[in-house]
């Protein structure tokens, strides 16, 4: 790929960029432009590939397919490529700054430990002094920046991509367990919202997945077994139903990874959900449930439920009354807000799927029309579609 007229950057090797990212219409290009203030650093400014319009990492309408972005950079229209982390993909990224020797490629020990721990796709930043990691997983909290050298995002940001992976780190992997543990180490519970700190110390049981599922299945209200069997009746969406199932699991245990596994194993999914989509959405639903949970917890000493310590005076409630306790006015308001968000997300997802379908159809038509080996009748029919 030729060097851009906009700045001197390492050549981009498109063939070594993970193929699974090629299929996402989440690509932008960037140009190196003068600093906003005298004496400042040059800026990486995002543009929509093939245009002179500025792009945004929060506006999908400004993103383009991989083939369009690479073609624009090959024409010298920008310095490099950028991959955007969106709301509907299963990917996250970690940016390690100022940790790499530009001459030898050696990493600082703290950065080398992070790269080895995640064992997912990793490549040097365009400057050569940092490292970008891309993996599959959902952040378990909102914290994203630690000091000046560590950043972590799974939506609303972009990473420059050069296609020059570090040896041994050429593949994007599902590293949700590692991400969850590492994120909690870097951003401890005391920095998180109070509800998470409460859940961490509230009474709970140590149950394996099977035992926890059996607890939910045998609850006396009958709602648990219906949810496990995929019965989402009475809920605005499967996502709402999964949230309810997650809350039932939280009565006994507050392990986000375990709850995500149980959600994946349930039948509260559409047939169109891919394995990756289920993993991403389950991790998101479990995290959201833990963040918002304000209901009782199981007390293993007395077989009763009690409110978390931070909510004030403890209220002892029989197991059978857990649903009544959870569905108070605050819960109703939360569910109404979640329902509104779910409806908006469904409309946006539907529009995105239609746009992606139309883009793919147009690319197929262009290929047929441009191929002289295909007979004229077929090409004419393609034009008429």
The pLDDT confidence band at residue 231, using thresholds 50, 70 and 90, is confident
Residue 2 resides in a domain: no
49 lies in the same domain as 153? yes
Nearest to 225 by CA among 235, 236, 214: 214
Domain finish residue from 183, 211, 232: 183
Structure tokens at 308: 């978390």
232 lies in the same domain as 110? no
With a cut of 50, say whether residue 314 has pLDDT above it.
Answer: no
Mean pLDDT of 317-329: 41
179 lies in the same domain as 287? no
As beta bridge partners, residue 150 has 96, 146
The pLDDT confidence band at residue 222, using thresholds 50, 70 and 90, is confident
With a cut of 70, say whether residue 113 has pLDDT above it.
Answer: yes
Domain that holds residue 88: 14-183
DSSP summary character for residue 238: H
Mean pLDDT of 250-262: 84
21 lies in the same domain as 126? yes
Residue 213 resides in a domain: yes
- Residue with more model confidence, 375 or 289: 289
Residue 336 resides in a domain: no
Mean pLDDT of 220-242: 81
| Spatial distance between the Cα atoms of 258 and 286, rounded to a whole number of angstroms | 9
169 lies in the same domain as 235? no
The pLDDT confidence band at residue 148, using thresholds 50, 70 and 90, is confident
Q: What is the pLDDT of residues 194-216, one digit of tens each?
A: 333 334 334 455 788 888 888 88
Furthest-apart CA pair in the chain: how many Å?
Answer: 80
210 phi-psi bin (left φ>0, alpha ψ -120 to 50, beta other): alpha
Residue 337 resides in a domain: no
pLDDT of the residue at 375: 67
Domain finish residue from 126, 148, 183: 183
- pLDDT-wise least confident of 62-71, 200-209, 247-256, 371-380: 200-209
Q: Which residue has the tokens 């650093």?
A: 41
| Spatial distance between the Cα atoms of 163 and 122, rounded to a whole number of angstroms | 9
26 lies in the same domain as 118? yes
Pair 248, 223: CB distance under 8 Å? yes
């Amino acid at each position: 790929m030729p060097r851009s007229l906009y700045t001197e950057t390492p050549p981009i090797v498109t063939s070594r960029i993970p193929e699974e990212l090629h299929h996402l219409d989440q690509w932008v290009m960037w140009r190196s432009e003068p600093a906003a203030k005298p004496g400042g650093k040059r800026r990486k400014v995002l543009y929509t590939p093939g245009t002179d319009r500025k792009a945004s990492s929060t506006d999908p309408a400004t993103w383009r397919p991989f083939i369009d972005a690479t073609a624009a950079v090959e024409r010298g229209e920008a310095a490099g490529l950028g991959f955007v982390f969106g709301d509907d993909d299963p990917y996250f990224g970690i940016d390690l700054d100022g940790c790499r020797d530009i001459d030898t490629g050696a990493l600082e020990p703290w950065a080398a430990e992070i790269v080895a721990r995640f064992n997912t796709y990793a490549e040097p930043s365009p400057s050569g002094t940092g490292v970008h990691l891309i993996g599959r997983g959902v952040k378990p909290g909102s914290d994203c920046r630690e000091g000046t050298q560590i950043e972590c995002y799974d939506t609303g940001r972009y990473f420059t991509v050069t296609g020059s992976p570090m040896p041994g780190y050429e593949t994007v992997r599902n590293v949700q367990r590692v991400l969850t543990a590492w994120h909690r180490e870097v951003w401890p519970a005391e920095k998180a919202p109070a509800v998470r700190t409460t859940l961490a110390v509230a009474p709970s049981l140590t149950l394996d997945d099977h035992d926890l599922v059996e607890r939910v299945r045998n609850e006396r209200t009958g709602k648990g077994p219906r949810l496990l069997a995929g019965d989402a009746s009475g809920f605005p969406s499967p996502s709402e139903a999964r949230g309810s199932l997650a809350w039932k699991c939280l009565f006994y245990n507050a392990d986000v990874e375990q709850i995500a596994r149980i959600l994946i194993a349930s039948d509260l999914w559409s047939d169109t959900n891919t394995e990756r989509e289920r993993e991403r959405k389950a991790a998101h639903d479990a995290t959201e449930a833990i963040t918002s949970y304000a209901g009782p917890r199981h007390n293993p000493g007395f077989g009763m439920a009690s409110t978390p310590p931070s909510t004030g005076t403890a209220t002892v409630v029989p197991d059978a009354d857990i649903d009544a306790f959870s569905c108070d006015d605050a819960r109703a308001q939360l569910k109404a807000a979640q329902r509104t968000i779910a409806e908006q997300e469904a409309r946006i997802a539907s529009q995105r799927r239609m746009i992606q379908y139309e883009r793919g159809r147009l690319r197929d038509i262009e290929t047929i029309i441009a191929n002289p080996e295909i007979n004229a009748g077929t090409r004419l029919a393609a034009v008429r579609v």
